[in-house]
Structure 1
């Protein structure tokens, strides 16, 4: 097929129509900017703001803790206000926070502005997922797969651009990269203005004039099953810590392979996600199918942990092959879990409280960002046995989640109807 025709066909296959494609364009712009900043943030605080290693670590930890509130706050507000307006406000908030970082080297203000940016980032993540849920209806998993593919491509472009920009080695480049991040958020905000507001069952319930149709929205903080589900999700998100912390430290301290393997495995992870995420999403387009994917997901985690453990027992070539196999296994786990999570997190949430529930679900990733580095560091410290236990523990958590959601999902919930709620 001709490349132009192939691109057009790919575009037409995206759920959500024109607004779905616009939101994917927003994701691309957003993640290009994030890729520019994420790869150099530590260097910026070190060389431009002249912070010590301890100060940089504390800044990241404190700002991350303060930003956790972004997910539940964004979700709760989305049940009451138009989601496009909230996305516009959040993107502007992120742009202002990035610009503010450029204007100061005061440590307290750097923490505050970083926390504001983190708050906005986590709120935007939940709002974007909720937008896809409302816009794409029963095709939400497939749409999220396109979204994640585009987002990963954006991260790659931003990261490569940052690497090229850093070649001259001047500190001024860091400021330009941060400015590029701020401009990406501003551009995303402007693009959001062109997106139509999707139907919202929660706001229909809240604004209905008929008392018979009005009911008090469910509270996710009182839903023990959903909270238990979110707790298992925090464990399944640990694949993120493997690539950001586990693999680099394991290669650096416990293997005899070249350190140059680290970026190559990161590239492999990114390429696999871009190439395979949409295809794998086809196996989780219903709630029942998504739940069944927890079985191969548990196997992928177990294999990844086992390969990491075995990589310490052979020579350089054997270790390289096993580490590559581990990266493939954990990337498969990452993609399978993304598919499962997109569907179950929505299917388990009452329609009138989707925003609040997805906001609480967003805390799973926030918790993983705190606990994940500690978990993989513990696995590294205990050697091959630690990695085997790491993989098996997550595999067991998959089994627990599989059983946990079974009782909640009735037979009628296993096929998701199209959302056709009117707000008038």
Structure 2
């Protein structure tokens, strides 16, 4: 009898209770540090470490390739060890990797340290998503939207600090930005100590009763539809590469465009997410609604590629305006994709194997971090046509995923089960 008033009030509160709020603070602090580093990492390796464009792209690709193992590893760990303790260990690993980068400009060591950081980053990303899924239950899309808002607020603050530091134009400023990233990981590890272990959402109890009735396999590696979905997710996740590699390198090698524009565009990205991610999340709260968002998502990706290509056709002012428009289009695509991905990645997975399925889904982002830098540098080397093809390829992949998910939905009503997560 008391459940109905709580259900009415729930949308007005942050899902997940006290621990959910603490994890939002963790995300905020984590992203402040990441904002300090992400927008200038390419510039750091270029101007401080003295690497070429090819070396920077290869470094990002190799570290991303090694980081791929972190996603499925994180999924397996989630079924065997407490989430909070593993998250603490991963944050400390990321801190060590960041501090280690400060100790050398030797290319093989830079590759090794970047790879360790990428492995920890991918594993922690999967475990953080699983934590949110367990602590928020059926409100997972809204919680993830609030989480993303907090994260991007942190990114914006870090990006603003990075932009200010770049005005100094010294190697010391770059090194302090990297050190700040490492310090943030130590801080969030300490804060995570205060978070309780989330409930398992009753998945074990539901297994014996529900497993015989489901047509979906418990092993994601045997679920061909889910694997195909993850493959399309890899392409749709390339918006991350645009902001971390594509735009900074494109700006660094464009005549007349100030280098300080790169972190400012990242700030724009984060400000837009802070203001719009939660309102947009309501349009993808169910599986069917999330699938419909794939069509406007396709248009946003295509627009981002075209405007980025056109930025090379005019003077400085026109280039700045078009680069800003491209950043806005890719940010819209990022927000729509985040909403779609949050819902579909969980809804397409059986509750009895969420950790394993989310671990496989994490391969999309991890793989993108490997092939994404190569795709971005290839687009830069090709010129404006390269960016047009880049955006068009992702747009077409959106249409493919739209068809793929439709076929799955016709066989299984996936938008209903998440409601049962909170029915203890």
Q: What is the match of residue 115 of structure 1?
A: 115
TM-score (norm: length of structure 2): 0.83
How far residue 146 of structure 1 moved from its aligned partner, in angstroms, is: 1.2
Once the two structures are overlaid, the 10-residue window that deviates more, 320-329 or 29-38, is 320-329
> For residues 183 and 277 of structure 1, do their structure 2 counterparts lie closer, same or farther at Cα, with a shift above 3 Å needed?
same
**Partner of 2:414: helix, strand, or coil?**
helix
> For residues 69 and 282 of structure 1, do their structure 2 counterparts lie closer, same or farther at Cα, with a shift above 3 Å needed?
same
Deviation sequence 1:94-127 (CA, Å, 0-9, x none): 2333344456676655543332222111111111
Q: 1:36 maps to which residue?
A: 36
Q: How many residues are paired up?
A: 411
Encode CA deviations 1:180-220: one digit per residue, 9 max, x unaligned: 333322221221122222222587269x9x89989998222
Moved more, 144-153 or 62-71: 62-71
Q: Which residue of 1 aligns with 2:332?
A: 332
1:342 Cα deviation (Å)? Answer: 0.7
| Separation in structure 2 between the aligned mates of residue 192 and residue 147 of structure 1, nearest angstrom | 15
Tell me the residue number matched to 1:413: 414
2:148 corresponds in structure 1 to 148
Q: Distance in 2 between matches of 1:312 and 1:192?
A: 45
CA distance in structure 2 between the partners assigned to 1:329 and 1:22 by the alignment:
32
Q: Is the 8 A contact 2:95 2:183 kept in 1?
A: yes
Contact 1:199 / 1:420 at 8 angstroms: preserved in 2?
no
Distance 2:256 2:166 in 1: 29
Q: Which residue of 2 aligns with 1:305?
A: 305
Deviates more, 1:118-127 or 1:87-96: 87-96
Per the alignment, residue 74 of structure 2 pairs with 74
Q: Is the 8 A contact 1:284 1:293 kept in 2?
A: yes
| TM-score normalised by L of structure 1 | 0.83
> Compared with structure 1, are the counterparts of its residues 161 and 10 closer, same or farther at alpha carbon in structure 2 (3 Å cutoff)?
farther
Cα distance in structure 1, aligned partners of 2:99 and 2:196? 28
> Does the Cα contact within 8 Å between 2:306 and 2:388 map onto a contact in 1?
yes
CA distance in 1, matches of 2:260, 2:340: 33
Q: What's the CA shift for 1:253?
A: 5.8
How far off is 1:305 after superposition? 2.8
How do 1:215-254 residues align onto structure 2 when only pairs under 5 Å count? 218-250=218-250
Q: What's the CA shift for 1:44?
A: 5.8
- In 2 relative to 1, CA 116–282 (structure 1 residues): closer, same or farther, beyond 3 Å? same
2:160, 2:263 within 8 Å by CA — same for their partners in 1?
no
Task: Point out where structure 1 has 5 or more consecutive residues left out of the alignment.
Answer: 1-8
Aligned equivalents of 1:345 and 1:93: distance in 2? 27
Q: CA deviation at 1:56?
A: 5.8
2:27 pairs with 1:27: yes
CA distance in 1, matches of 2:152, 2:258: 26
Provide closer, same or farther for how the CA distance between residues 321 and 57 of structure 1 changes in structure 2, counting only shifts above 3 A. closer
Seen in structure 2, the aligned counterparts of structure 1 residues 217 and 310 have a Cα distance that, compared at 3 Å, is closer
Does the 8 Å CA contact 2:295/2:399 hold for their aligned counterparts?
Answer: yes
* Cα distance in 2, alignment partners of residues 182 and 376 from structure 1: 26
Does structure 2 conserve the Cα–Cα contact (< 8 Å) formed by 1:80 and 1:202?
no
Q: Deviations over 1:125-172 (max 9, x none)?
A: 111111111111111111111111111121222233344456666655
Tell me the SS of whatever aligns to 1:417: helix
